[in-house]
A and B are shown apart, each in its own frame.
Chain A
Amino acid sequence: KLDPLPLCLPHVKIKVPQKFLLCASGESVKVYSSSSEECVHDLQGHTDLVSGIVRNPSNHLQVYSCSADGTVRLWDFTDGILIKVQPHSLPRSFAIAASFFALCTVLVKLFQLVAVHLPLSGDQEVEARELSAVLCDVSPSGAASFGRKVRVVGLPGTSVANKFFLKSGNKKGAKNAFTCVSCHPKEDCIATGHEDGKIRLWRNFNQKKEYTYSTLHWHHGAVNTLQFTPEGTNLLSGGIESVLVQWHYTQENQKDFLPRLGGAITHIAVSPDGSLFCTSHSDNKITIIQSCVKVSAIIQGLVKGEGVRTDLTIDPRSKALVLNGKPGHLQFYSLHRDKLLYNLDIVQQEYIHEEGLDQFEVVKAAFDTRGNWLATVEERTQKGSELEINLKLWAYDEQTQSFMLNTTVTAPHEDQITAMCFSPSPETTMLVTISFDGHFKAWLLADHSDTKAEGACWSCDFVGGYHHLKPGCCCFSADGSLLAVGFQEVVTVWSPSWELLTTLSQPPGAIRDLCFGRLSCSKYLLGTSTKNQLCCWNLLTCSLEWSTPVDVSLLQADPLSENMAAFCSQSGCSDLFVFKPGEPRPLYSQKALCTGKVQRAVFAPRDQMLESCEEHAQWLNRSQLYFFTQHMDLMTFSTKTEEDRLLASSKRLMVDDSVAVTPFYLLLGKHRQQQEALTNPMAERIQLPQGSIAIKELLYTPAHVLPSASFLCSMFVRSLLISSSSAR
């Protein structure tokens, strides 16, 4: 079966119970170990986005989750077991809060705050019949929180207070709508965050109409999230500025900051003992912070910005997927391990977390065939001023194992750079950039060994154009002997000595994408045009071989085989065709692959060739196809054999749950189990000589007065050995 398989976390909400960190991620709840940052469990069962999670107040090892599919589920997160499912009659619950007796969800569709009574029964699936609408007309961005004194099912206190707030919010105008709410765990105090960046602390709301409030103001954007620490001494808030602010509850003008955490803070969670804070960020990241001093760990998925402006590329060295990461960065994402390797800072400028600013964005990235050079283009458009473009060339440094900046070209072109590619020929290192200003430029690595300047740097070698037309795309042939540049309707083919060899055209429709055939099909040049044409030219006869009317939105060539993948958009869906340029029938096709247009795609070469027996999956043998859908989900095709292997590996992962599963544990634990089974078939544990003086000495002496561990080790081990006489 070839099914698209989503890879990334689209949406994150978190809770921290002491040792584990729970986060709602897409349709599942992930359980991370807060010490090792490993994903311990993946609680799967919801069929739509998980919108909220809350701990069961009566059992701290259980957690409720609610989802847009209209169910509330109760999980045992230490074992990863689903305990209860409560289907709502009303779908699309949005936020969730829990008290000792009731569960409260905000239902978006009807804008109601609903209390759900939890029937006590042992069945796995329980229909919650006792729904009582507490509050109507709740705004969709509503949040729910339970205060300390609220014990009655009807929740009069909260609802009244909420009603007040909404009224006051409406009165004062547009900018102070509520964004979040949090209740003080010990006192009668409710903190609310507002869109204008203010935090209000409401007190005295049990007496009707005599409530008071005080205002805290530091954020300049909306307050995204608020959280009291368990003892209620501090209030944490976060917003778009990416600064975690810690307000002291008693002295309200005192505050601590933790700046530059990454993307905008979307959620904050605090562990029950207050020692760990946890922030989730808009760029798919969770940061674990030790009591607002130090970032202790970062759990990072595929960084997702507003869109991927660079093409998907594969780093030839690390085989990592490279695309836009954090603002101004490129991310290197390992596809094999589904893990972010690192972010490469391209812009090297302080990012200002503020809305409405025009900042530098990385728009193009390209690697040469051996992975020694990386070229990036960053641009910044500002209203009323010129476009700023920088072309940067990065050399791979063996010592630091990363890319070092070699050359910066400011304003390489007068207009936006539309495409860029390295020449694959092994003799020359050459880069070709193509821009809307009607030119294409070739950049060469020039060695100025006669000057005092250290090392080689890049300089412009050739500027070409064709009748002042705007070029749209370019492509090198596999051996680097031909360069094809598409100038609107015309494809021009150039030799490495910059002679215009021939022009090809197939009007009407401007050329959108160009691709040379590989290996045995290298005599073909494929092009797609805006007027629904896929053309294939034969370069030996310089004539059109065939053409077909399909609306190809994306054309991608497999670097290791003759195969080409064409994504066609048809009536709101995307179809995929895989074909060889020289053969009349496609190798594989799938209709309605996903909704919307496929944005980007790339063939990732496999480490070793798969021996797949299925005929229709043969094209996946050498490389794997990844693509981005319209909703910025990264999808891939998997073959049956791979699925089997994945299943096997997931089975192997199911080990003793009492210990946090770390890579170290997996490595050593398995080994030790085997050893135990071998050496100790009777499973009889020999009592260790507990009373040894050496051990006592070692264990009870303060660590700082002990000699070095290497010195003690042999002694310690010797003391643990059981002498041969006692064994008998």
Chain B
Amino acid sequence: MASFKSTKIPIYPKLGEKVTPDTLYWKNYKAPVQIKEFGAVTSIDFSSLAPHNYAVTASTRIHIYGPFSTEPVKTFTRFKDTAYSGKFRSDGQLLVAGCEDSMVRLFDVSGKVALRVFKGHTKGVHVTDFTSDCYHILTGSDDYTCRLWDIPNSTELTSYKEHTDYIRCGITSKLNRDIFITGSYDHTLRVFDARVEKSVMTMDHSQPVESVLLYPSEGLLVSAGGRYVKVWDLLKGGQPLVSLKNHHKTVTCLSLSSNGQRLLSASLDRHVKIYNTTNYKVVHNFDYAASILSLALAPDDESIVVGMTNGVLSIKHRKSPEEKREMAGKQRMQPVYRIFVKGRNYVPKKDDFLVSKPVKSHLAKYDKQLKKFNISKALDTALESWRRNRKPEITVAVMKELDRRGTLKNALAGRDEQNLSQLLNFLIGNVVDPRFTPVLVTATEMILDIYQAVVGQSSVVDRQLVRLQELVEREVDYQQDLLEVLGMLDTLFAASLPRKEVPCPGSSRPNGLAEGSLGAPGPQLKAA
């Protein structure tokens, strides 16, 4: 005697994003902390020193924030005009910043007044950086020049005037103290060697370059400009490797994750995209409220800091392991059926004879009613409001089961106004859902058949029937439009595909037809 088999509730595949390790990793951040700055945040730089403070350049100030503070730890306000590109030295002691007034200032992180002021540029300085030996400073300016400065005696060492437009980005090599790269609005990237008087390599980005980035190995260079992010192979003499076009507005900032496996790009289209650096596919995406100008990641990806055009600084911190566990614990809190544990944890001894009791299976309420053939009650149970709203698939599965048993019509019949309007409400909500349509269309037809005699007696039901009619008409129109589009696409595809001939060696003669009529040269089956 087999036991009753419960109604199968189909599990529908979840549409949309797939859960990958990447999405899990990048979703594991807390809600962002937002800090309002005085103007657009143009640059963010993390200190490599232990607490990992970060410098935020916005308007005429540079704020230094601690890793978890919402108030600035330190502020540099000695700028006469808009400050640009506040950068820490690799030891975290010094900070350099350019300014619209063409002066470059060097600060001690603990002090207030500028230690050195480098004068020489004629226009605003948007790019500043320290070389890897910590004694020189690279600057790039709107006067089309980039220069190297000596820190101890604050003199200009070399000046390169090869770009033909504003220099808006630049980076120094972390491995070699003499090599640096600049990107300019003249669409080019240039690699300079301080020991040589001219640039050693030029790459054409074909868009005004907004940001450059070197891989930790420094074999690959990433540049952003226009809507494109391009990757160049420096070891092959600046050969373009990949060109990515995933943003629909100018890409403004680039960053690498701490392990170097993921590349992040921020854009004016308010998105941050994360790429896998092995295949350059987008693995995750962040949305922000305004156009993004600057982006930085803390060491070990502990936080993501984003600066926007409206002056808002958004900081996302990674969830700590304890918080994660807490969340998991919350999910496990579910009603416990087993209350009495008496004797359940008893372990049988060696000589005990074990008498196993049949395990009683738990049946849902609608299943119990279906087992007893109480079909109307089963439908009522399935139509209970919480189940109807939260798990429509259960309601539909019970309807399907009743239809299979040939009793759906009986179950739907004999309902009063309130019951009927509930049912119609459910149909209006779900009949156009492609998962439920096949079942619900038959149910709708049955309801119309059963209750057509009483149409016009209740205003509530009539109104719902009209709504249902409108809904179905709209859906039919919609489907028709879709079919038209599909037809158009088919024509386009058919026209664009090259016609391929199938090789048919037998085409010269009618594939054995002649032999068949000529009395078969091959073997004939003969009955023995």
Which one of A348, A380, A566 lies within 8 Å of B5 (CB-CB)?
Answer: A348
* Residue A275 interfacial (CB < 8 Å): no
Contacts of B526 in A (CB 8 A): 585-586, 589
Which one of B351, B370, B524 lies within 8 Å of A548 (CB-CB)?
Answer: B524
Q: Which 5 A-B pairs have the closest CB atoms?
A: A546-B522, A544-B512, A584-B523, A708-B351, A542-B505
8 A Cβ contacts from B318-361 to A: 351, 353
Other than A410-B10, A566-B525, give 5 A-B pairs with Cβ distance below 8 A.
A345-B5, A506-B511, A547-B512, A708-B353, A711-B351
* Residue A16 interfacial (CB < 8 Å): no
8 A Cβ contacts from B72-103 to A: none
Contacts of B525 in A (CB 8 A): 534, 548, 550, 566, 577, 579, 586, 589
8 A Cβ contacts from B482-503 to A: 502-503
Contacts of A345 in B (CB 8 A): 5
User: Size of chain B's interface in residues, with CB distance under 8 A?
Assistant: 43
B505 touches A545 (CB 8 A): no
* Residue A500 interfacial (CB < 8 Å): yes
Which one of B18, B502, B527 lies within 8 Å of A503 (CB-CB)?
Answer: B502
8 A Cβ contacts from B509-526 to A: 511-513, 515-516, 520-526
Complex A-B: 14 CB contacts under 8 Å: A352-B404, A356-B406, A357-B404, A503-B504, A504-B506, A544-B511, A544-B512, A546-B524, A547-B516, A548-B525, A550-B525, A583-B523, A584-B524, A589-B528
What 1/0 flags go to B378-410 for Cβ under 8 Å of A? Answer: 000000000000000000000001011110000
- Using CB atoms and an 8 Å cutoff, list the residues of chain B in contact with chain A: 1-8, 10, 18-21, 24, 351, 353, 370, 401, 403-406, 438, 442, 502-506, 511-513, 515-516, 520-528
- Tell which of A146-154, A258-266, A439-447 binds the partner: A258-266
Contacts of B405 in A (CB 8 A): 352, 354, 357
Give A544 to B515 CA distance when docked, in angstroms: 8
Contacts of A507 in B (CB 8 A): 513
User: Known: A258-B1, A547-B515. Is A450-B523 also a contact (CB below 8 A)?
Assistant: no
A506 touches B512 (CB 8 A): yes
Which one of A545, A586, A588, A708 lies within 8 Å of B522 (CB-CB)?
Answer: A545
B5 touches A544 (CB 8 A): no
From residue B403, how far is it (CB to closest CB) to chain A in Å? 8
Contacts of B527 in A (CB 8 A): 575, 577, 586, 589, 591
Which one of A358, A504, A591, A710 lies within 8 Å of B511 (CB-CB)?
Answer: A504
Which one of B1, B10, B20, B511 lies within 8 Å of A543 (CB-CB)?
Answer: B511
A710 touches B351 (CB 8 A): yes
What number of A-B contacts does a CB cutoff of 8 Å give? 123
Contacts of A295 in B (CB 8 A): 1
* Residue A349 interfacial (CB < 8 Å): yes
B5 touches A350 (CB 8 A): yes
* Residue A362 interfacial (CB < 8 Å): no
Give A380 to B400 CA distance when docked, in angstroms: 12
Give A607 to B511 CA distance when docked, in angstroms: 41
Contacts of A506 in B (CB 8 A): 511-513, 516
B506 touches A385 (CB 8 A): no
Residue of B3, B7, B505 with most chain A CB atoms under a 10 A cut-off = B505
* Residue A502 interfacial (CB < 8 Å): yes
Contacts of B513 in A (CB 8 A): 506-507
Give A351's nearest chain B residue, CB to CB.
Answer: B5
Which one of B1, B3, B8, B401 lies within 8 Å of A261 (CB-CB)?
Answer: B1
8 A Cβ contacts from A533-581 to B: 533-537, 541-548, 550, 566, 575, 577, 579
* Residue A406 interfacial (CB < 8 Å): no
From residue A657, how far is it (CB to closest CB) to chain B in Å? 33
A500 touches B506 (CB 8 A): no
8 A Cβ contacts from A377-401 to B: 380, 382, 385-386
Contacts of A537 in B (CB 8 A): 512
* Residue A451 interfacial (CB < 8 Å): yes
User: Known: A502-B504, A547-B522, A591-B527. Is A349-B5 also a contact (CB below 8 A)?
Assistant: yes
B505 touches A543 (CB 8 A): yes
From residue A531, how far is it (CB to closest CB) to chain B in Å? 11
Give A294's nearest chain B residue, CB to CB.
Answer: B1
